[in-house]
Amino acid sequence: MADSNNKLGYVVGVDLGGTKILAGLFDSVLGLRGTAKITTKPQRGPGAVLERVARCVRDAVDEADLTMDQLRAVGLGVPGTVDPALGQVIFAPNLGWREVALKEPLEQLLGVPVWVENDCNVAVLGVQAAELKNKPRSVLGVFIGTGIGGGFILNGELYSGAAHTAGEVGHMVLQMNGPKCGCGGRGCFEALASRTAMVQRIKTAVNGGEKTVLTEILPDLERLRSGDLRKAFLRGDKLTKTVVEDAAGYTGLALANLANLLNPEAIVLGGGIIEALGEQMLGIILQTMKEHTMPGAMTGVEVRVSTLGDHAAITGGAALAMRLTQ
């Protein structure tokens, strides 16, 4: 039976992605009580997507056998540049949004306070709260999937920078005149080590006559996913092994640069590529970091793979909602 303080305890974290919306209802100690997931359908426009976010929140509350009047707040992670103070998206390329208000429309739809942040920022908050138990005061999160994003906690608080764009680790340039990136630049970390970059490199190699078991696993390489890369790697596929190990090397180089610059207490890796291949990549990542960090820069720095998986952003959204409604 619910106690009288439920209004103070229950929050919902939402991960708004380009293809799916995931919501999770959490109790006052970040225990996950219920989840809901629906497709995003961004082609219908921002208003329709916000209606779907609200529906997903209500479904998560219902899944936990609770009611909306027991909900304290909602924390929302969005893939793009966000102004948390205004509660709006500045630019979200995966959704095709520019200057879209989120906070006020969602508060009207749901009747509770709503807090909006970048998805990687809330993911690192989730890792700090649920996995690290809020102990490290400085935590760097790097999330490698379709693209590469990051978030940084400094002195226990998210660091978002003067224009709220801090944490775009995927767009550090690691190779001058390297492969073209989706941002328009060349040689970005994301253009060298994301799943998109790996797939592009494999497609180019196959078109050049190289053999790979990936064409047996999945004839249409456009549909290649992180799990397929793992299968091919474990089967000893030479091309996949080379591509994955090169991506691990670039990841280690990026993290070495970040460790030299920020010297965080903890560096946490997540995202679909890390979930699928973290075990295979971590040794190369750590060795490359060791080779490229200043003496002392890695002393006491914990490098770990997140265990939260898809739940990092919803956990962080919940943690954000708790922090801002205390």
The predicted-structure confidence for 226-257, as pLDDT tens digits, reads as follows: 999 999 999 999 999 999 999 999 999 999 99
6-128+311-324: which CATH number, 3.40.50.150, 3.40.50.300, 3.30.420.40, 3.30.360.10? 3.30.420.40
Helix axes 272-292, 226-234, angle to 10 degrees: 70
CATH number of 130-307: 3.30.420.40
pTM: 0.90
pLDDT on residue 8:
60
Q: Please tell me the predicted confidence (pLDDT) of residue 5.
A: 43
> Virtual CA dihedral for 261, 278, 18, 23, nearest 10 degrees?
-100
Rg (CA), the chain: 20
The answer to whether 21 and 52 have CB atoms below 8 angstroms apart is yes
Q: How far apart are CA 277 and CA 104, in angstroms?
A: 40
Is the distance from CB of 180 to CB of 186 less than 8 angstroms? yes
pLDDT of residue 244: 98
Residue spans of the chain under pLDDT 50: 1-6
- 6-128+311-324 and 130-307 share one CATH topology? yes
Q: Which of 89, 94, 102, 87 is nearest to 41 (CA)?
A: 94
C-alpha distances out from residue 306 to 41, 135, 158, Å: 29, 15, 18
Q: What residue type is 155 in one-letter code?
A: N
- 217 SS3 class: helix
Q: Which of 317, 321, 326 is nearest to 24 (CA)?
A: 317
pLDDT at 231: 95
- What's the CA gap between 141 and 149, in Å, rounded? 8
Domain residue extents for the chain: 6-128+311-324, 130-307
Cβ-based neighbour number of residue 283 at 10 Å: 12
